Amino acid sequence: MVRPTLGTEASAGLPDTTGPREGGGKAGDRVLGVEGKPLRDVIAPDLDVLFVGINPSLLSAARGHHFARPGNRFWPALHLAGLTPRRMTPDEDDELPSFGLGITNVVDRPTRTAAELTPEELLAGGEALAALVERYRPRAVAVLGVTAWRTAFRRPKAVLGVQPERVGGALTWVLPNPSGLNAHHQLPDLARLYAQVRPSGG
């Protein structure tokens, strides 16, 4: 497996890549990501920010769209953060690359809760994420869940914010999970933190 590239700058709880999808993203080609994933990636080369969920919920996998559970605050947080021009719906997730954004997951396997994931799945997912980032070269990566980050990248004392490590060579953030079950951060908190991730000039 490819190990995470680490440098000196980083639902509720992550085979050949397919060709271009019809339509164009910011970088031209919007692609499905890795063939055979229960929930396809929304990704294109050279995005501003690649958001990384922990793993798909059962509902998201069934619908084929990210952050689809009612009560998940990802989509309103993106809009309030100024990252999208309007509040989008999960069914519109494939439009994100036109705004310089993408979505993948640390672990591919859908579950009812992220607590069902094993440490081994998270570690393997961290390695797969690093390889994906190396391939598509987003300017920043934002992992949505500090507990998953601590396990997947063996950083038990990590806290929210910019990480000293770079996943796949990209500036890496750890941000709160947007699940409605995360009572520690309300929607205004999520929006404020998410607004910080787009690189300067993005």
- 13-18 average pLDDT score: 33
Evaluate if residue 198 carries a pLDDT over 70: yes
pLDDT digits (tens, 9 = 90+) for 57-66: 999 999 999 9
Residue 59 domain-assigned?
yes
- pLDDT above 80 (res 23): no
**Do the domain assignments include residue 200?**
no
What range defines the domain where residue 134 resides? 49-194
Asked if residue 163 belongs to a domain, the reply is yes
DSSP state of 4: P
* Band (201; pLDDT cuts 50, 70, 90): low
pLDDT at 52 over 70: yes
* Residue 100 falls inside a structural domain: yes
Which CATH number belongs to the domain containing residue 100 in this structure? 3.40.470.10
Which range (10-24, 34-48, 112-126, 132-146) has the least confidence?
10-24
Distances (CA, A) of 178 to 1, 112, 187, 201: 30, 15, 8, 25
Residue with tokens 């993948």: 104
Per-residue pLDDT tens over the stretch 143-192:
999 999 999 999 999 999 999 999 999 999 999 999 877 778 899 999 99
Q: What would the mean pLDDT of 69-86 be, rounded to a whole number? A: 96
Q: How far is CA 118 from CA 5, 111, 155, in A?
A: 22, 11, 16
**Would 153 be classed as within a structural domain?**
yes
Is 28's pLDDT higher than 60? no
Q: In the prediction, which pLDDT does 35 show?
A: 54
Domain tally for the chain? 1
Give dist(CA 119, CA 163) in Å, integer: 20
Which tens digit of pLDDT belongs to each residue from 92-122? 999 999 999 999 999 999 999 999 999 999 9
pTM for this entry: 0.82
Residue 150 counted as domain residue: yes
Q: CA–CA distance from 154 to each of 16, 126, 147, 173 (Å)?
A: 28, 10, 10, 15
* Dmax (CA) of the chain: 43
Kindly state whether residue 19 falls inside one of the protein's structural domains. Answer: no
Confidence of residue 2 (pLDDT cuts 50, 70, 90): very low
- pLDDT at position 135: 98
List 31's β-bridge partners, or say none. 20, 43
Residue 80 lies in a domain: yes
